[in-house]
Amino acid sequence: MPKYDIVVVGAGNAGMSAALQCQLLGLKTLLIEKHNLPGGAATSFVRGRFEIDPSLHELCDYGPADNPGDVRTMMADYGVKANFIEVGECFRCVSTYRDGTPMDVTMPAGIEAFIDKMEFYVPGSREKMTQLFDLFQEVLDGIAYITASRGNPDKAVLGTTYANMLKTGAYSTQEVFDALELPERCQDILSTYWSYLGVDMEHLAFIHYAAMVHKYTSRGAYILKHTSHELATAMVERFRELGGDVWFNCRAEEFLFRGEHCCGVRTNMGVVDCNYVLANINPDIIYGTMMPKELVPEREKKLSAARDRKIGGRMYTAYFCLDCTAEELGIHDYTIFLPGTADSPTEYDNIMKGMKYNNFSIFNCYNIANPECSPPGTCLCGFTTFGSPVDWNDLKQEDYFRFKEEGIDKLLANLKEKLGFDLSGHIEEIEICSPWTFARYLGVPEGGVYGYEPRDWDGMMARMQMIAYDYPIKGLRPIGAAGPRGDGYAASMICGRLMALNALLDLKKWKEEGGKA
Amino acid sequence: MAKLNVTISADPRIDMMKFATMAKVREEAIQAAPAKEVSGVFPINENAKALHPDYLDLVVDSIIDRGEAQAKTFVLRRKDGAPLPYFRAGQYISLKLPLEGSFVTRSYSLCCSPKAALEGKYAITVRANPGGFAADRLLAGLKVGDPVISSGPQGFFYYEKLRDAKHVVGLAGGSGITPFLSLAEAIRDGVENFSLTLLFGSRDEKNILFREELDEIARVCPKFKVVHVLSEEEKEGFEYGFITAELIKKYAPEGEEFSVYLCGPEAMYRFLKPEIEKLGLPERLFRRKLIDVTKTPWDCEGYPQEARGRSFTILVRQGPQEWTIPASADEPVLVAVERAGIKAPSRCRAGECGWCRSRLLSGTVFIPQDNEMRRWADVHYGYIHPCCSFPTSDLTLEVPGEFF
């Protein structure tokens, strides 16, 4: 068995990015993946004559060539080529304002266009919206600065150049909106994006929200022409080109230690020796099931207990391959948010109470952004909502198939009632994925694809400031959505890259201290 | 960069110092928590694992000889008799059979009600297949108490109320009856709620598989009806000949939308294709259980005839291991890999499930159009499904690992 400098466990977005970065740094890298294809959530599946992307709605932070986002830059640095398509508008949201009035708004991409449209829906909002977007920009620049400093920013620079980020950085989005005195309807429309981070506006750190919304509005959102599997395969093939090894259907069972230093991985394909492991696995799973209990540091036990299983984004989704066009159904929008109300704390609570109370969904029609994503005369649509442990913890197998179907049936009825889209009689293929599906496929706790909720004390900025403390295990770093940058393709890829760079430093230090290769 | 005006700093609700203390606040929250052991076990994940295991270690619980129908039903259970993963009527399991130094995969539809799984039982039925490799060895060799490695339930040949019509006309031929027996039992047991009219083609009356079972379900369950179609025997009470568009129309519900499900041997598919086209059904109302890849690839459109009958060499890589193995142009790549005793993944053997997805590093293969169900990027980057790819040159192939 060959020995590797680094084994990256899990070819999810973070793992693929980490593996590419490691290989580019000249480290001999093995990427292992428990499935027979790469990507984790960035994947696709085939049903009949359709190929379906199960996860990517809107890739944040890719951007056009003249205003590249982190993902575009990263792909260029890695030499990864894939066909990205711009989505166009930001979103349509059909809901109810907190004042009880029905809401039906469609927000365009582009900061000026977004502010103009907001002025149209909420007359007199322009000045406040402009201030808000200036603030977003500063926050974004500040995060980039802190990321570049790998968690060790110069306090003087922060205090002068990024003063407004400092002012708002420790507050919830709702608190900052209130402080800015943004009109309530403005707030309601802006709150639409809360679900992409899985934490309601009262608990969602402003800095995290600001970074995301600014990226979507300024750079637009992107998807892949041939599903996320195209991107995943392109990344893995590029990694091989650079000299990396990839083993599929290779599952890490246990991390092996020499003293306190992780030095290998036991897998179904044998033991792999290495000097370092980057594991695209949730820390709770690693600490609880994949390493000797006595080597789990006290602080990591406390961190896990403090997080108390607050898992984000337990996905519950359905995909419809329809035998008619979007036009024939009257669908003209790519992403339509359908929350019960614009009051996000109420929405969050209802989701956590289970499908009986959950009225939240996002409806996508992929053909609007990517007309060639399905055969001529057909279209691909999907629902996304969130599951709750209330429903999915104790569900019996014999009730499972019916239960997951009934939940989606409810969303279909809601779609018909609110928007008049009637999918019945057109469904050629259907697949429903519950939190069980995501738990099984991704191995994430409770099927939560957002890692730990980035809420209150455990927000993105707080995590970023503590990168130096959060990885006490020698030779092993978890990467992925549970990491400092939170969830999403872009965040996970950035996290993978960041941890690969840190791994290089760790390895240098370890060798200087006499660590044996 | 435009700077924010002073509204925020003047607001008493915003305390600039709070940013500096974020790390401290977080650390305090962490330190206040108990240093208890991390469990890493979550009910949702445990449920998912139980429903979708990597593999099942089963034993043969009992065997029912089907006499003149030349088949045996093998009832399988776990060693300890614990419940088995629930399934959707119509799904199959894929067996890993250690036969003569190979690990051979064969998929068999479950031919029992999903309720049987709760009682710890699965049933499959194997029919004699003269000249076939696995079926005859199973019929002759598999005894009560023998161990069997199986996948969990798989496949998409099941009733889906959000998609299918309320009435299904089933077309079965030979051992293609097995998923329909499961569907019929599921309707009888109230697990599924739709009407099934089954047109079942057999050679002659004594050759009808599950005759008594099907007739009994039809007797007690008004939503299920079976019509026996005999191709070699003309007899009162039976339809004679082959299943045709005319026959389907005769038994299909009148003035009501219906779905057609098809499961049978390759020859039946070829015969029925134009018949089903005559019905003018939209694609969503026609579902078929995919069968094994063709045994005569040279009859398929686009086959490079010069490859037929030739022998090739495949360099197979799996993780750190490597083998050089012989292959015939007349058999799928997977067969060569299995024959060499390499544990490589596969399940459906029809190109549908993608479980065997492997990377073709060099060489060329022929893929019949009926089995071409690869992802776009897999086609683009040279990944193949070895179960339905025929070698047309020497190959270098990287196969994934396995879990059994």
Domain boundaries, chain A: 4-83+225-309+453-512, 109-220, 315-386+388-433
Predicted confidence band of residue B16 (pLDDT cuts 50, 70, 90): low
Question: Which residue in chain A has the smallest CA separation from B343?
Answer: A269
User: Can you tell me which residue has the tokens 């291991």?
Assistant: B321
Work out the mean pLDDT of chain A and round it to a whole number. 95
**Is pLDDT of B72 > 70?**
yes
Q: By CA distance, what is A394's nearest residue in B? A: B43
Model pLDDT for residues A37-91, shown as the tens digit of each residue: 999 999 999 999 999 999 999 999 999 999 999 999 999 999 999 999 999 889 9
Interface contact A429-B163, CB threshold 8 A: yes
pLDDT digits 0-9 by tens, A420-470: 999 999 999 999 999 999 999 999 999 999 999 998 899 888 898 899 899
Please measure the distance between the N-terminal and C-terminal CA atoms of chain B and give it in whole angstroms. 60
Amino acid A121: pLDDT: 98
Q: Tell whether B45 is within 8 A of chain A (Cβ).
A: yes
CB within 8 Å: A301 and B35: yes
Q: Of B93-102, B110-119, B333-342, which gets the smallest average pLDDT?
A: B93-102
- Partner-chain residue, chosen from A49, A134, A178, that has the shortest CB–CB distance to B4: A134
A231-277 tens-digit pLDDT: 999 999 999 999 999 999 999 999 999 999 999 999 999 999 999 99
At residue B324, the pLDDT reads 98
**Least Cα separation, residue B186 to chain A (angstroms):** 12
Buried-exposed string A51-66: b where 16+ CB fall within 10 A, e elsewhere: bbbbbbbbbbbbbeee
Q: Is B114 on the interface with A (CB under 8 A)?
A: yes
B281 interaction partners in chain A (CB closer than 8 Å):
none
Distance from CA of A488 to the nearest CA of B (A): 21
Nearest-CB residue to B5 (from A46, A131, A285): A131
Tell me which residue in B50, B115, B375 faces A229 most closely, judged by beta carbons. B375
Are B178 and B108 in contact, with CB atoms under 8 Å apart?
Answer: yes
Q: Please count the other Cβ atoms lying within 10 Å of the Cβ belonging to residue A252.
A: 22
The mean per-residue pLDDT over the stretch B70-95 comes to 96
**Mean pLDDT value of segment A158-173:** 85
**pLDDT for B160-201, tens place per residue?**
999 999 999 999 998 899 999 999 999 999 999 999 999 999
Domain B167-288 listed as CATH 3.90.700.10: no
Per-residue pLDDT for B2 more than 60? no
Confidence band for A142, pLDDT divided at 50, 70 and 90: confident
Asked whether the predicted pLDDT for residue B10 surpasses 50, the reply is no
Residue B4: its pLDDT value, please?
A: 42
pLDDT band at B131 (very low <50, low <70, confident <90, very high): confident
Beta bridge partners of B99: B102
- Distance separating alpha carbons of residues A211 and A487, to the nearest angstrom: 13
pLDDT, position B3: 42
Summarised one tens digit per residue, pLDDT across range A405-421 is 999 999 999 999 999 99
**Is a pLDDT exceeding 80 seen at residue B20?**
no
In this structure, the number of other CB atoms found within 10 A of the CB of residue A271 comes to 12
Q: Write the residue in A393, A405, A458 that is nearest to B43 by C-beta.
A: A393
Among A68-82, A136-150, A196-210, B246-260, the least confident range: A136-150
Measure in Å the smallest separation between the Cα of A337 and chain B Cα atoms.
22
Q: B10 CA to chain A: closest CA distance, Å?
A: 9
> How close is the nearest chain B Cα to the Cα of A320, in Å?
9
What is the pLDDT, as a whole number, of residue A436?
A: 98
- Quote ipTM for the complex: 0.95
* A325 C-beta neighbours (distance < 10 Å), count: 17
Residue A111 has pLDDT above 80, yes or no: yes
By C-alpha distance, the chain A residue nearest B321 is: A1
Are the folds of A4-83+225-309+453-512 and A109-220 the same?
A: no
Cα dist from B71 to A50, B7, B136, B178, B348, whole Å? 36, 83, 10, 11, 21
At residue A164, the pLDDT reads 85
**Residue B291: is its pLDDT beyond 80?**
no
CB contact burial A87-113 (16+ within 10 A = b; e otherwise):
bebbbbbbbebbeeeebebbbbbebee
Work out the average pLDDT over A120-139: 95
User: CATH fold of A4-83+225-309+453-512, please?
Assistant: FAD/NAD(P)-binding domain (3.50.50)
Q: Give CA torsion, residues B53, B54, B57, B62, to 10 deg.
A: 60
What amino acid occupies position A421?
F
User: Hey, where are the domains in chain B?
Assistant: 52-150, 167-288, 297-398
DSSP per residue over A369-432, as a string? H-TTSS-TT-EEEEEEEE--HHHHSS--HHHHHHHHHHHHHHHHHHHHHHH----TT-EEEEEE
The fold of B297-398 is Ubiquitin-like (UB roll) (3.10.20)
Q: Does B9 touch chain A (CB under 8 A)?
A: yes
What is the distance in angstroms between the CA of the first residue and the CA of the last residue of chain A? 15
pLDDT at residue A161 is higher than 90 = no
| pLDDT tier for residue A139 given thresholds of 50, 70 and 90 | confident
**pLDDT confidence tier of residue B102, bands split at 50, 70 and 90:** confident
Q: Which two tokens stand for residue A398?
A: 């014999």
Q: Which of residues 341-380 of B touch A (CB under 8 A)?
A: 345, 352, 354-357, 373-378, 380
State which CATH number among 2.40.30.10, 2.160.10.10, 2.40.110.10, 2.60.40.10 fits the domain covering B52-150: 2.40.30.10
Looking at the domain that runs over A109-220, which CATH code has it been given? 1.10.405
- Say yes or no for a CB contact (<8 Å) between A233 and B377: yes
Model pLDDT, residue B1: 34
Determine contact: B14 vs chain A, CB below 8 A: yes
Is the CB of B23 less than 8 angstroms away from the CB of A293? no
Q: Mean of the pLDDT values across residues B373-377?
A: 97
To the nearest whole Å, the CA of B380 is away from the closest chain A CA by: 9
| Local confidence band at A153 (pLDDT 50, 70, 90 cut-offs) | confident
Choose the closest CB to A302 out of B3, B22, B30: B30
How far are the Cα atoms of A166, A168, A210, B177 from residue A154, in angstroms, in the given order?
Answer: 13, 18, 22, 73
